[in-house]
Amino acid sequence: MELVTLFAVLLAIVTASLLVHRRHSSKYSGLPLPPSPSASIPWIRHAFQIPTERPWLTYKSWSDIYGDILSFEAFGKRYVILGSLKATMDLLERRSSNYSDRPEVPMLNDLSGWDFQFGFQKYGTRWRTERRLFHQFMNVNQVAQYRPKQLQHARALANHLLEHPDQWQGHCRLMLGVTIMDALYGIQVTERDDKYIRKAEVAFEAFNESAQPTAYLVNTFPWLKYVPSWFPGAHFKRQAAAWKKVVDEFVNWPFQHVKEATRNGSSRPCVALSLLDKVADQPEVDIQTQETTIKNCCMIESQSSSCFHKTVSALSTFFLAMAMHPEIVRIAWKELDSVLDGQRLPAFNDQERLPYITAICKEVMRWQTPSPLAAVHSSIADDVYEGYFLPKGTMFFGNAWAILHDPEVYPEPHEFKPERFLKDGKLDPTIQDPNVAAFGFGRRICPGRWFSGQALFITVATVLAVFDIKAPVDEAGHPKKLKASMTTGVISYPEPFECDVVPRSESAKKLIREGINDTD
């Protein structure tokens, strides 16, 4: 065991009684905590039972035993898993004033440079100010302004797939990165090895790993952030320092590009420019403070799990699902051909006549939801729910995967079945929309969900209009059997798999080449 780990355990044993004393002194101390798995080690409790791989699956199995609200404890910290939509809505939505805080995540905010990210900020004035600014450009009405750019880049994706179909995953990442950099900063990116794209990918690696509250001991024992980086066992400090350099550059480079372009007259319309213009018209405000707020909000839009990486994950799942289910591809073709007649590529105004395509998008978000264990919440005050005592400072996770695999709501939940969302050839409004859980809960719900939904629809529709997506064949010419196996992280992706992306016909190739210059 690393030396830092030993120090952490010793400190836990010394201080655990102080940490739990507060619970016994509460006016609710006579009530039980939510049920939990058995734990025989005092103070350490469930620390060694916390799953490190695909925790949402273990938590689902625990919920099947202990109920929709269960808890466990590690080194004096209490965690609660909400395993049903009712429990999640009752607490994180209906009592959101108490459950909208975030716990300390030092590896993310203090060490890796993600303190600008309001998604993991403590609930308070700064969080409200930056989220309000963010919402101005990403609410359900405003996101329509980004459709022309999303359409343009979805068609560019089709052209990239035509030229290099084996690189489909990289093309999807590039397409989404290009769209966001264009909309937010007016930056035109053409290559995947562009410096902004490279920085984005490394920065998100830092986010996805360091944002997991139980992944690093420093997130359990914040005092470890003061350990010198040369100290034995302090590899996490050296890793965080390398990440912070990249994250700082990633935050500042695009914003400085916009300011420089404004000075030399080469700026293009974008969100950052609009916000800077507003500040320029208000000479009485603190320009530096306002610019920092603008820079943070634009960067959050471009990199937060709210849009970019959830959409990348969803598109990877889409390719996997289509390769596994050729019969679904054929049904999608039939619907697309009835609307487009093979004469053009789809556009946003076709969506009402493409319910099956929309159903595919919904099923992608449900079947392997990109954020299966929604971002952690923390409580501000003691509370009681269903007769259980919930201490102040408890960490709460809404198990989105469990909610979206409830067999009472979604029969055969492990099967990919877009038709579950349809009735008589139309979208069935009585079927629970996966967005109730796929983008988080309460006041901390992902604010980029509308942007993400638009990007997913137009990309799925465009790709299926002109391509077939198939499982590769073995030496005997038989399709290889693919399976859905997902990675662990704040954002979960399908593990690497192969698929063949093939143009449907020569006329489809022609549409792709013509469509790249036609985005009306």
Tokens for 299, please give them.
């960067």
Residue whose C-alpha is closest to residue 60's, from 316, 393, 369, 389: 369
Which residues on adjacent β-strands are paired with residue 167?
none
Q: Coil, strand or helix: which one is 71?
A: strand
How many angstroms separate the CA atoms of 412 and 142, rounded?
A: 37
d(CA 147, CA 141) in angstroms, rounded, equals 12
Q: At 423, list the tokens.
A: 């009735």
| Secondary structure (DSSP) of 105-168 | -HIIIIISSGGG-GGGSPSSHHHHHHHHHHHHHHSTTGGGGGHHHHHHHHHHHHHHHHH-GGGH
Rounded distance between C-alpha atoms, residue 317 and residue 505, angstroms: 24
Question: Among residues 120, 126, 130, 128, which one has the least CA distance to residue 208?
Answer: 120
Q: How far apart are the first and last CA of the chain?
A: 61
CB distance 397 to 80 below 8 Å: yes
DSSP state of 481: P
DSSP helix/strand/coil, 136:
helix
298 a known binding residue? no
* Structure-block tokens of residue 99: 């459950």
Q: Tell me how far apart the alpha carbons of residues 270 and 152 are, in angstroms, rounded to a whole number.
A: 16
Q: What is the CA radius of gyration of the chain?
A: 24
Residue 308 tokens, joined: 């970019």
Quick one: CA dihedral 278, 283, 284, 287, positive or negative?
positive
Give yes or no for a contact between 99 and 377, defined as CB atoms under 8 angstroms apart: yes
Nearest to 492 by CA among 49, 54, 37, 79: 54
- Give the H or E element holding residue 294: helix 287-303
Yes or no: say if 471 and 499 are a contact pair by the CB < 8 Å rule. Answer: yes
**Residues 450 and 143: beta-carbon distance below 8 Å:** yes
Residue set of the binding site for heme: 446
Extract the annotated binding site.
446
